Structure 1
Amino acid sequence: MTQALAHRWRFFRAGGFDQVQLETPADLAALRGLDQKLWASLACPVNNLELDRRMLDYIDLNKDGRIRAPEILDVVDWTLARLRDPAVLFENGPLQLASLTDDAVGARLRLAAQRLLAVLGRADGDSLVPADTANLAQLFPPHEPNGDGLVPATLTDDAELKAAIADIIASLGAQTDRSGEAAIGAEQIGEFFAQARQLHAWHARAAEQGLDAFGEGTVAAVEALSAVRAKIDDYFTRVAMAEFDPRAAALMNAQEAELVRLSSLSLADAGEVAGLPLAAVQHGDELPLDKGLNPAWQGAIGEFRQRVVVPVYGELERLSREQWQHLVALCGNYLAWQAETPKVAIVEVLKRGRILELVEQDAEARLLALVEKDKTVAEAADGLVELDKLIRLRHGLITLLRNFVSLQSFYARQDKAVFQAGTLYIDGKSCDLAVEVDNIEAHAKVAAASDCFLLYCACTRRGEPVRGKEAMNIVVAVTAGSEGDLQAGRHGLFYDRDGNDWDAKVVKVVQSAISIREAFWSPYRRISKLVSDQVQKLAASRDADMVSKTAAKVGETGAPGAATPAPAFDIAKFAGIFAAIGLAVGALGTALAAVVTGILSLAWWQVPLLLLGVLLAISGPAMLLAWFKLRRRSLGPILDGNGWAVNAKARISIPFGTALTQMAELPKGSDRALRDPYADKPLVWPWILLLVALAAGYYAWSQGVFSPEPPAAPAEVATPAQQ
């Protein structure tokens, strides 16, 4: 706080608020002490900014996609601590090695710079620019350790480990190594093999319990056993009943009466036979698996024998009760084991056999050893990363501060602000306040509070992507001129900051005032449109009425045997029509004459005042409303809709708005022919009628037609004496 009080700040006023000027290293050093209520912004996104994206990622320490005021302060302190002369931040040019500090940090950076210059083939060089570190693969070759703790497949020559890295990336996704390659880290390795070990332990339990006796056909074996289980259990129960009471032996077999009934039927369908016992009980405690079986179950027992009995006991002809119970137990344990299958995500991508193979290869320990090998060069590699960070901050930090702490770049109009994406040309205008947006509808809900006339445009560049994109959305503020034909569906041309042209189509319009001149004419345009619409509706209705009546008359005339008598002339009807027309014309003439009389009764200098008063009465409310709205125009909601935390009013005044939106103007010294051979011919007769009416009114006024006559004097009555 003492440092903040000791520092003498300089402010400039723009956009309706005081903004701090950042012009010297002392301003940067004292920035932490500047009250953040005086900052123009408190946070901004890293997307949709015309700044070095890698520099923004360096500043975004928590990788949440946003840069906040504390992160700005930290990066300012970090930069100042590594420059012997921070004044170079306010100058253009490369980063000179001589600008680095002389302490241990500066020495490490200088050593990293010398290594980099040697790699670039400029061992005798003494300066670096951002382009020197643009290719990360050159700084950090993918086949060499780079200290970030990430392992790409190119870091090893072991085919098994290459395949393991590919499998882990396929299962859990990839991180980006400093070399730019897809890679994995210790966290991913641990997560993958934690799941793999669960699956391996589950399979190991199956081997311990002998559940793998059926091999790959285990599922089919269980299904085959389940299909005959009830029938085989029924057989051994019948045998047990016969052993319990010899008298039941005959009853446990098929009844003679049932066999007699079946003998009279066609046994091609085994359904009638299926209900009989599986085999005769005289076979005793062993079930025949080939001969002596119920024909309806011959196929099912054969399947059971091949899939269940043979894998465990070999080619048996008869199955004992104990063997049967053992097989049932094996399948029961298998079903219980199957129900305990671990729910691991990697099974959705890799086969179980491949996962078990990776565990048995001890791939986890070998991959973690690669990670540790990569980290052994962390100190040297981090020096290159710090150097890259410093080079980029050297060129972009002041620009960021002049668009974050203040909005100096925006209001100075010397360079575009970092949030300005380019310029839109449309309807004879060029609009500089264009901001790239991700979601049009979400942005419009917030930006509507800016009181600006906004155009949302979908921009496309088919077959010629820029920064990997062929389409983007922008919002453009129209801050001068008139609305004209700006509406959804209009097309324009958008030039981005690099000069690339994009096809732009207006998809949404947020209406608001554009200028006071537009507001002056708006009532007359609305009245003109209203009259035009009403006249067109009247003409259309009259046309439709005439067509329908004509069609009806033609139909009546064309009817067979019909004769349409000519209508008689009704003089009384037409006299009434003429009288009504005369009354209307007379009323209009009287009203016009009264207006003319009133105007002519005024002094000559009062006539312009009268006309001015009429214009103000009509246009004044619209102009006043537009003036209030134009004074409320603000940049804040436009940026807030993009994720900014604008901390100030950031007004867009009327004069500043005329600078943001330029109108079409002819070049100076151009020749201009004013005659348009294809211009619409002016209508003369309305003016002639108006002049005739004015002349008639003036003549009537001069003859005293509209002057009140003095009352007539009463006639004198002759007295008898006078008579």
Structure 2
Amino acid sequence: MAHQWRFFRSGGFDQVRLDKIEDWQHLHELDPKLWAALSCPVKGLEFDERTLSYLDSDADGKVRIDEVRSAVRWALSVLKHPAVLLSGDELPLSAIDDGTEQGRKLLASAQRMLTNLGKAEASALTVADTADMASIFPPDQLNGDGVITAALSSSEPLTQLITAIHSCGWQVQDRSGMAGIDQPLLDQFVAAGQAYRGWLDAADAVSAVAGEQTAELYQLVQALDAKVADFFTRCQLAAYDANATEPLNAALADYAALSRQLLNADSADASHLPLARISAEALLPLTAGVHPHWADKLARLAALAKPVWKTAKEINASKWQQLKDTLKPYADWKAAEPQSPVASLDALVLRACLEETVLAEATALIAQDLARQSEAESVLEVDKLIRYQRYLRDLLHNFVNLQSFYSLKQPAIFQNGRLYIDGRSCDLCIEVHDAGKHAKVAGLSGAYLLYMDCSRKGSAEKKSIVAAMTAGDAGNLMVGRNGVYYDAKGQDWDATVSRIVENPISIREAFFTPYRRIGRMISDQIQKFAASKDKEIETKSAAGVGDAAKVAETAAKPAAPFDVAKFAGIFAAIGLALGALGTALATVFSSFLGLSWWQMPLALAGIALMISGPAMLLAWFKLRERNLAPLLDANGWALNTNAKLSIPFGTRLTALAQLPAGSSRSMADPYENKSHIGLYLTLLVLACLAGWAWQAGLFARWLG
């Protein structure tokens, strides 16, 4: 018979139950269309990283349905008591199926691990037991990964070889966590080392000029070449025209400037002068009569170049070129130097590392380590089984269904912490890498989103999160607002709003939105009117000060007679306006007072509904469509359904500030702004009614 699946309704869609081991055993039969997710990233989740690496069998950075199925199938196949996968934090050794070859290997590896940990009498393994890989794979023991460390070496030459390779910047990590080398790295070092050693060996053939001091002679020629070329070029110009001799030597002004300084052979202000006195003979002295800054280098050059120049005290351009030609083989050899990290090694150390016996020892040790591969992989499979027992059910409740998210018993693996801001806390916080790119997709969720830039004091680490506001209102939320973010480890971060995606937050907010807009519009208009009047008064005052004489002259003229008719007309117009407004208000009030007592609240509710109804209806529709999928899809997930964020559920994800139960509260606030708007509105209504009464002739009837 086919397995009878059980489903529960949450988030607006049917989710499969996985609380029986039979459900796990038939998980491979469940239609992928009924899975909550098709894939999820291995980064950015609050989940054990090593477990994710085991699940991601193809190492593509994603966990997919087939990989989850394979993990469940393998875990079930090696356990004779598979129910241990449903609960608990430890793997009893008795649950491992020792009736199969694979199970017996796992059990033997598990017992050996407990012995290495000093817990030979223990009957169960936990995640904590295998957290430190060095405790599972000690650095001084072969572990089957083909990587050898200095701790495994039994001879000084092999230790020197491993250390030399590391000093070149080449290393791979051993399963113990230590740095080591493997066969490809050893081959790379040998190839580079032999090439460099061959280059070093060729030095003997190009060092005939000065033997071991050829390198020093070459460096001197390189350092002096530009200055010597300058000297001989100046001499050629002096031979071309005798008038150029004096200008090409140092000017008197140069020496006058130097005479005011405390000089030495290395004075920078004198280094620009020629090597020696410029003359048509073009002979460069090597000892006497040379620039002090270059004297030592020239003297050393003369000593090293004796095989070429003999005991010459001065040289011409031909002899300088002769020396350069003699050194050309060395220059060519120097230019051919291999650019390799092995060049940083001492030549004797390099030769010792490339000895055949040392390389053979390293190769043999790597082979011995690889021979333990099967045994080591069995140990790794024990670690995998321990982690599957502890974490696999959490993954299923965030992948096959979203039970963890909707149950609110514990955060889902995609919830990265909690944000406190503006008198509320938000639990739907997701870490993002590119807020702009994320917002383009996440905005389709219909949720009000805050993108926060987070940083920690004393740390260069930064991160960005998106928080979904699902309760309250957006009154005080704005870019630049600060809050505090607590990550899943409990670490606090300074958080600043960098971007907002606006959507409705609640029906309550939608009800007051029209009134807030009207109030904001009236406030803006009043401020604009006050600002314009203030500007007008300022302009008139400035003009009045400038025209004081004209004002005085005008004041001397007799004032125009008071126009009673005009004043009466203005008063009549005001009365008509007040009367019209009063008539309208009186009509409304008389109609309202003509209603029965039970009709009055219905009329007020109808007016409020007429004003706020459209906004509330629009918000209701949008809040019903609010869902989780775009938020996760923008972060690399492939969610398989529209996981709704309903209004009741939203109030659980975002908690508003509330006074503790049983608290006392005083409403007296000595610094509260005292508003007299009620009095002003009452006076306005009375004035309007008075105008209406006057217009209707009620005053004349009452007084007559």
Query: What residue number does 2:450 align with?
Result: 455
Q: Describe the shift of the 1:273–1:105 C-alpha distance in structure 2 as closer, same or farther (beyond 3 A).
A: same
**Mean CA deviation greater in 223-232 or 451-460:** 223-232
Query: Is contact 2:585–2:689 with CA below 8 Å preserved after alignment?
Result: no
Contact 1:224 1:300 in 2 (8 A): no
- The farther-off stretch of 635-644 and 378-387 is 378-387
1:40 to 23, 36, 41: 36
2:622 aligned residue (608, 629, 648): 629
**Once the 2 structures are TM-superposed, how far is the Cα of residue 629 of structure 1 from its aligned partner?**
1.7
Q: Distance in 2 between matches of 1:502 and 1:266?
A: 69
Structure-1 residue corresponding to 2:79 = 83
After TM superposition, give the deviation of residue 325 of structure 1 in Å: 9.7
Query: Tell me, what secondary structure is at the counterpart of 1:416?
Result: coil
3-state SS of the aligned residue for 1:6? coil
Q: Report if the CA contact (8 A) 1:480-1:661 is conserved.
A: yes
Which one is further off, 263-272 or 73-82?
Answer: 263-272
Change (3 A) 1:689 1:139: same
Does the Cα contact within 8 Å between 1:308 and 1:327 map onto a contact in 2? no
Structure 1 residues 158 and 225 mapped into 2: Cα distance closer, same or farther (>3 Å)? farther
668-677 or 80-89: bigger deviation: 668-677
Q: What is the match of residue 555 of structure 2? A: 565
Alpha-carbon separation, structure 1, partners of 2:433 and 2:316: 74
Question: Partner of 2:181: helix, strand, or coil?
Answer: strand
Structure 2: runs of 5+ lacking an equivalent: 233-237, 252-273, 700-704
Q: 1:97 to 1:290 in 2, by over 3 A?
A: closer
1:126 to 101, 123, 127: 123
Structure 1 residue 399 corresponds to structure 2 residue 399: no
Maintained 8 Å contact 1:172/1:188: no
Alpha-carbon distance, 1:387 to partner: 1.5
| Cα deviation 1:412-455 (Å, max 9, x = unaligned) | 22222111123323323222212223333333333222111112
- Contact 2:5/2:16, CA 8 A, preserved across alignment: yes
Counterparts of 1:135 and 1:266, CA distance in 2: 75
**Secondary structure, counterpart of 1:112 in structure 2:** helix
**Aligned with 1:402: secondary structure?**
helix
State the alpha-carbon separation in 2 of the partners of residues 13 and 580 from structure 1. Answer: 69
2:2 is the alignment partner of 1:12: no
Q: Structure 1 unaligned segments of length 5 or more: list them.
A: 233-253, 280-288, 706-723
Show CA shifts across 1:448-482 (max 9, x none): 2211111223444436x8xxx96543221111222
- Inter-partner Cα distance in structure 2 for 1:639 and 1:395: 25
* Counterpart residue number, 1:108: 105
**1:353-364 equivalence runs, <5 A:** 353=347, 356-357=350-351, 360=354
Task: Tell me which amino acid in the other structure corresponds to 1:132.
Answer: D
The residue type paired with residue 218 of structure 1 is Y
Identify if the C-alpha distance between structure 1 residues 693 and 678 changes in structure 2 by more than 3 Å, giving closer, same or farther: same
Matched, 1:648 2:632: no
Identity percentage over the alignment?
A: 42
Bigger mean CA offset, 502-511 vs 476-485: 502-511
CA displacement, residues 319-339 of structure 1 (integer Å, 9 cap, x when unaligned) = 999999986655444444445
1:42 aligned counterpart, secondary structure? strand
CA distance in structure 2 between the partners assigned to 1:264 and 1:642 by the alignment: 77
CA–CA distance in 1 between the matches of 2:91 and 2:297? Answer: 86
Which structure: larger Rg? 1
1:714 aligned residue = none
Question: Is 2:377 the counterpart of 1:382?
Answer: yes
Could you say which residue in structure 2 is the equivalent of 1:218?
Answer: 218
Instruction: Name the CA distance, whole Å, in 2 between partners of 1:30 and 1:340.
Output: 67
What does residue 437 of structure 1 align with? 432
| 1:352 positional shift | 7.8
What is aligned with 2:680?
A: 686
* Pick aligned residue for 1:534 from 510, 515, 525: 525
Residues of 1 paired with 2:373 and 2:495: CA distance?
A: 47
Aligned to 1:52: 48
Residues in 1 aligned to 2:124 and 2:520: alpha-carbon distance in whole angstroms: 67
Q: SS state of the match for residue 19, structure 1?
A: strand
In 2, the alpha carbon distance for the partners of 1:10 and 1:265 equals: 104
Equivalent residue in structure 1 for 2:656, among 651, 655, 663: 663
Which of 179, 183, 189 is equivalent to 1:182?
A: 179
Three-state SS of the structure 2 residue aligned to 1:23 is coil
1:690 and 1:168 mapped to 2: Cα distance?
Answer: 92
Q: Deviations over 1:57-79 (max 9, x none)?
A: 22233444332333222222221
Contact persistence 1:199–1:356 (CA under 8 A): no
| Residue of structure 1 in register with 2:143 after alignment | 146
SS of residue matched to 1:67: strand
CA distance in 2, matches of 1:322, 1:548: 90
Q: Distance in 2 between matches of 1:190 and 1:229?
A: 47
How much does 1:196 deviate?
3.4
User: Bigger CA drift: 431-440 or 491-500?
Assistant: 491-500
TM-score by length of 1: 0.77
Show the counterpart of 2:256.
Answer: none
| Superposed counterparts of 1:158-197, under 5 Å | 161-162=158-159, 164-169=161-166, 171-172=168-169, 174-197=171-194
Q: Could you tell me how far 1:99 is from its partner in structure 2?
A: 0.4
Matches of 2:225 and 2:491, distance apart in 1 = 72
| Bigger mean CA offset, 193-202 vs 102-111 | 193-202
Structure 1 residues 659 and 301, CA gap change in structure 2 (3 angstroms): closer
Which piece of structure 1 moves more, 509-518 or 610-619?
Answer: 610-619
Q: How does 1:292-311 map to 2 (within 5 A)?
A: 306=302, 309-310=305-306
Do structure 1's residue 198 and structure 2's residue 191 form an aligned pair?
no
CA distance in 1 between counterparts of 2:350 and 2:452 reads 54
Name whichever of 571-580 and 127-136 sits farther off: 571-580
Structure 1 residues 703, 155: closer, same or farther in 2, change over 3 A? farther
Q: How does 1:236-255 map to 2 (within 5 A)?
A: none
CA contact (8 A) 1:217 1:307 kept: no
Q: 1:448 to 1:294 in 2, by over 3 A?
A: closer
Query: CA separation in 2, counterparts of 1:528 and 1:336?
Result: 85
Q: Which residue of 2 aligns with 1:237?
A: none
How many Å separate the matches in 1 of 2:168 and 2:567? 93
* Structure 2 residue 582 is matched with structure 1 residue 589: yes
1:464-613, aligned counterparts within 5 Å? 471-554=462-545, 557=548, 565=555, 568=559, 571-572=562-563, 578=571, 581-596=574-589, 610-613=603-606
- 8 Å CA contact retained: 1:225, 1:308: no
Give 1:217's aligned amino acid. Answer: L
1:227/1:300 contact within 8 Å kept: no
- After TM superposition, the structure 1 stretch with the greater mean CA deviation from structure 2, 688-697 or 310-319, is 310-319
Task: Report if the CA contact (8 A) 1:147-1:376 is conserved.
Answer: yes
- Inter-partner Cα distance in structure 2 for 1:304 and 1:677: 92
Aligned residue among 149, 152, 155 for 1:155? 152
